[in-house]
Structure 1
Amino acid sequence: MSIQYRVAFGKNDEAVDGPDDAEVVVTIAAGDASLGASVAFMQGKLKSTGSTGVLLAALSNGSAAAAISRLALRP
């Protein structure tokens, strides 16, 4: 199960974590990262491509929230 997380700070300005050939690519705007990953997903602010099952597992175990929070705090 591989996931690439992308937090967008602006056009062509993203913090990225994860392999380029990931099963799932998750994208969220930096301003929405404070909502929490599950809430952002339910509100349609967290976008993903790939297997929804893999994404739901990451949301459930907290790894998505941790990765997004870490990327959103970039210097």
Structure 2
Amino acid sequence: MYTPIHSISSLFEQLGLGSSEKEMNAFIVANSPLPAKVKLHDADFWNTSQKTFLRQMKQEDADWAEIVDQLDAMLR
């Protein structure tokens, strides 16, 4: 069975966001729902470096891609 390398909390840390359960939940509540037509990396609540990171991880199908998809689903 495949075990992801990264966790959702490590993604929040990588993005420079609070990674406690409470902080992650507050971020999701504050930024949901993300409209279906908006790609995750195009959301207006990211700064330039966060947008770049999210876009690159998906384009490169990097080991972060699965967790980025999880965050995307959480925001929908």
What is the TM-score of this pair, normalised by structure 2?
0.35
Which one has the largest radius of gyration? Answer: 2
Higher relative contact order (CA 8 A, sep 6+): 2
Structure 1 or 2: larger helix share? 2
What is the TM-score of this pair, normalised by structure 1?
0.35
